[in-house]
């Protein structure tokens, strides 16, 4: 009888019961009918235990860091930087929109924040540059789904917690898929640019900008440290790939390599500097400080200096320092509303995660995954076909339900089935996360479509049609990720976060 909680839950959800109550009502009522009143108390305790978690704390912190960055005026700097790099291409501002989303993804784990922050800046600019409003809104919505794929990612923190996976492994696994979505969208823009004669844009929006001495020095130092770090990473990556790292490790310490790479980085920067204009240099320098956030988060986790939760708190502190002392764009009186908005947004997610942990207990008690697995295996025993079918299912679910709640509900049910079929848990997490994230931009219920509509003033139906070519690209990427596990698994394997 207990197995009926799943259909009951789905019906309640479809008629509009909030997911939080559905997650508790459906299993609760069936436990009661089954005479298992004692387990209802367990349900309540698991809501509490589900919320009482240190790793989960990263969720409000990353939300807060993203909100601080956004309000601190970092978005404008990122857009100017993207435009300096890609504005001169045909369909320039559309490329700028996508690149800004990729960069913004490293600061915030939310597609909605991405759409509202970048949309309010870029949609009017694209319209002035000759793009139709529906195209501008569509590309903003389509590229914003990169936000929760590239780390830090709210939905990956939730998945990792609910399913007992490593947050760091999921973060690292999301990097290549996120970049692939971005590159895929850029290819589509290039094709559309030829067809619709999309315009180029100026690389520099505002000439003659200046930089304070302090920020100039910070950018000078950070840029060289970043490039040197990248070179050290490449050095280790190359040796890891050819399998001789173990032999090289005892002889050369990473810090010595870093020390050697610093002058190399300086020479590279000086070589590039000669080829670019003063304005271009200033725009790039202004983006250096904001773009340290993803480096601090991933660098700290990779080196093992701090946990993802601590990394998220450091990201908040860094965002505060940047907004108050470098950009000087924020006042103390702005803080309460920013903190309140982050607390408000994260509290609903934390309650949902708590309810999901309680729900998961009943999922295990009911043996629903085993029965569902039998039904799914009855369709086919070929994992490739099953992965195709599950992608279709996830895509449909994503059309109607937000990515976070969908992961909370489906993760505990589908995860164990596919892991038993031999799909790596991290690989399956990425398939689910990317698929459900793309669902945020699919009609009829895609959340970012509504946000793009409110930012642009264009109807949701019109944006829904204009977004179709970009959705096609994202579907292709989903299937590439599904059938080529190396796309998501290579970086976590190389860094030792996945065996």
Partner 1 sequence: MFMMVLNILFAINTTILRIGRALAWIALGIMVAVILIQVFFRYVPFLDALPWPEEAARFLMLWMTGLIAPSAYRWGGFVAIDMVPQALPKAICAVLMIVLLGLSTLVLIVAVQLGWQHTMGFGGNFDSSSLRLPLDWFGGTDTKIKLRYMYGSLLFCVVMMLVINIELIIRSVFALVSPDTELPDDDSATNMVRAD
**Listed ranges 205-213, 235-243, 338-346, 411-419: which one lies at the site for partner 1 (CB under 8 A):** 338-346
Q: Decide: is 444 part of the binding site for partner 1 (CB under 8 A).
A: yes
The Cα–Cα gap between 123 and 138 comes to: 10
CB of 118 to partner 1, least distance (A): 14
Q: Decide: is 379 part of the binding site for partner 1 (CB under 8 A).
A: no
Q: Toward partner 1, which CB reaches closer, 28 or 66? A: 28
User: Site for partner 1 (CB under 8 A): which residue of 33, 241, 248, 343?
Assistant: 343
The Cα–Cα gap between 444 and 263 comes to: 54
The Cα–Cα gap between 274 and 269 comes to: 9
**DSSP helix/strand/coil, 243:** coil
Q: Decide: is 317 part of the binding site for partner 1 (CB under 8 A).
A: yes
Two tokens, residue 474:
């994202």
User: Site for partner 1 (CB under 8 A): which residue of 257, 268, 339, 494?
Assistant: 339
Q: Decide: is 432 part of the binding site for partner 1 (CB under 8 A).
A: no
Q: Decide: is 337 part of the binding site for partner 1 (CB under 8 A).
A: yes
Q: Decide: is 356 part of the binding site for partner 1 (CB under 8 A).
A: no
Q: In this structure, are residues 84 and 293 in contact, taking their beta carbons and an 8 Å threshold?
A: no
The Cα–Cα gap between 163 and 40 comes to: 22
Q: Which residues, including other chains, have CB under 8 Å from residue 212's CB and lie 6 or more apart?
A: none
User: Site for partner 1 (CB under 8 A): which residue of 4, 220, 306, 388?
Assistant: 306
Q: Decide: is 97 part of the binding site for partner 1 (CB under 8 A).
A: no
**Distance of alpha carbon 82 from its chain centroid, rounded?**
19
**Listed ranges 56-64, 122-130, 134-142, 237-245: which one lies at the site for partner 1 (CB under 8 A):** 56-64
Distances in Å between the alpha carbon of 5 and those of 12, 28, 102, 198, 497? Answer: 10, 9, 40, 52, 36
Q: Decide: is 245 part of the binding site for partner 1 (CB under 8 A).
A: no
The C-alpha angle with vertex 80 and arms to 119 and 148, in degrees rounded to 5, equals 50
Cis check: omega of the bond before 378, within 30 degrees of 0: no
Q: Decide: is 309 part of the binding site for partner 1 (CB under 8 A).
A: yes
User: Site for partner 1 (CB under 8 A): which residue of 290, 405, 411, 415?
Assistant: 405
The Cα–Cα gap between 488 and 432 comes to: 12
Q: In this structure, are residues 147 and 113 in contact, taking their beta carbons and an 8 Å threshold?
A: yes
Per 3-state DSSP, what percentage of the chain is helix, strand, and coil (rounded to 5)?
80, 0, 20
User: Site for partner 1 (CB under 8 A): which residue of 33, 41, 241, 267?
Assistant: 41
Q: Which residue carries 């009661």 as its tokens?
A: 32
Number of residues in contact with partner 1, rule: CB under 8 A? 60
User: Site for partner 1 (CB under 8 A): which residue of 3, 4, 25, 239?
Assistant: 25
Q: Decide: is 53 part of the binding site for partner 1 (CB under 8 A).
A: yes
Number of H helices, E strands in the chain: 25, 0
CB of 68 to partner 1, least distance (A): 10
User: Site for partner 1 (CB under 8 A): which residue of 2, 30, 60, 485?
Assistant: 60
The Cα–Cα gap between 81 and 77 comes to: 6
CB of 229 to partner 1, least distance (A): 19
Question: Which phi-psi region, left, alpha or beta, contains residue 498 (left: φ > 0; alpha: ψ -120 to 50)?
Answer: beta
Q: Decide: is 28 part of the binding site for partner 1 (CB under 8 A).
A: yes
Q: In this structure, are residues 232 and 254 in contact, taking their beta carbons and an 8 Å threshold?
A: yes
User: Site for partner 1 (CB under 8 A): which residue of 187, 248, 344, 392?
Assistant: 344
Q: Decide: is 310 part of the binding site for partner 1 (CB under 8 A).
A: yes
Q: Decide: is 52 part of the binding site for partner 1 (CB under 8 A).
A: yes
Q: Decide: is 296 part of the binding site for partner 1 (CB under 8 A).
A: no
Q: Decide: is 152 part of the binding site for partner 1 (CB under 8 A).
A: no
Give the binding site for partner 1 (CB under 8 A). 12-21, 24-25, 28, 40-41, 44-45, 47-48, 51-54, 56-57, 60-61, 64, 116, 305-306, 309-310, 313-314, 316-317, 335-337, 339-344, 346-348, 350-352, 354, 400-402, 404-405, 444-445
């Amino acid at each position: 009888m207990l197995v009926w909680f799943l259909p009951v839950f789905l019906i309640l959800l479809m008629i509009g019961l909030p997911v939080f109550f559905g997650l508790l009502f459906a299993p609760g009522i069936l436990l009661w009918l089954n005479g298992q009143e004692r387990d209802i108390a367990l349900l309540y305790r698991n809501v509490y235990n589900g919320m009482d978690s240190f790793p989960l704390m990263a969720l409000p912190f990353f939300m807060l860091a993203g909100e601080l960055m956004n309000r601190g005026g970092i978005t404008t700097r990122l857009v100017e930087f993207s435009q300096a790099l890609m504005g001169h291409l045909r369909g320039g501002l559309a490329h700028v929109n996508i690149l800004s989303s990729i960069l913004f993804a490293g600061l915030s784990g939310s597609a909605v924040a991405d759409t509202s922050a970048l949309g309010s800046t870029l949609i009017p600019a694209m319209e002035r540059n000759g793009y139709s409003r529906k195209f501008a809104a569509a590309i903003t919505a389509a590229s914003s789904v990169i936000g929760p794929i590239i780390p830090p990612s709210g939905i990956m923190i939730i998945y990792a917690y609910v399913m007992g996976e490593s947050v760091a492994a999921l973060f690292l696994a999301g990097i290549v898929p996120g970049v692939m979505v971005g590159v895929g969208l850029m290819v589509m823009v290039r094709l559309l640019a030829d067809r619709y004669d999309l315009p180029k844009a100026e690389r520099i929006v505002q000439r003659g900008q200046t930089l304070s001495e302090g920020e100039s020095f910070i950018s000078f130092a950070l840029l060289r440290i970043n490039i040197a770090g990248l070179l050290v990473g490449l050095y280790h990556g190359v040796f890891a790939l050819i399998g001789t790292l173990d032999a090289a490790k005892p002889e050369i310490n990473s810090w010595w390599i870093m020390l050697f790479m610093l002058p190399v980085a300086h020479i590279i920067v000086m070589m590039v500097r000669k080829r670019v204009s003063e304005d271009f240099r200033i725009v790039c320098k202004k983006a250096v400080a904001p773009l340290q956030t993803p480096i601090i988060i991933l660098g700290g986790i990779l080196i093992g200096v701090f946990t993802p939760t601590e990394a998220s708190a450091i990201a908040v502190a860094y965002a505060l320092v940047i907004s108050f002392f470098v950009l000087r764009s924020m006042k103390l009186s702005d803080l309460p509303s920013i903190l309140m908005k982050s607390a408000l947004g994260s509290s609903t997610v934390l309650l949902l995660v708590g309810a999901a942990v309680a729900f998961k207990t009943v999922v295990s008690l009911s043996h629903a995954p085993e029965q569902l697995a039998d039904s799914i295996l009855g369709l086919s025993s070929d994992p490739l076909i099953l992965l195709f079918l599950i992608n279709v299912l996830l895509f449909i679910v994503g059309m109607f339900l937000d990515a976070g709640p969908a992961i909370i509900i489906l993760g505990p049910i589908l995860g164990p089935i596919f892991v038993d079929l031999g799909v790596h848990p991290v690989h399956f997490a990425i398939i689910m996360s990317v698929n459900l994230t793309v669902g945020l931009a699919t009609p009829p219920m895609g959340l970012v479509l509504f946000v793009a509509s409110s930012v642009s003033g264009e109807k949701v139906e019109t944006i829904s049609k204009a977004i179709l070519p970009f959705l096609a690209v994202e579907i292709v990427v989903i299937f590439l990720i599904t059938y080529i596990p190396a796309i998501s698994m290579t970086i976590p394997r190389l860094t030792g976060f996945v065996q």
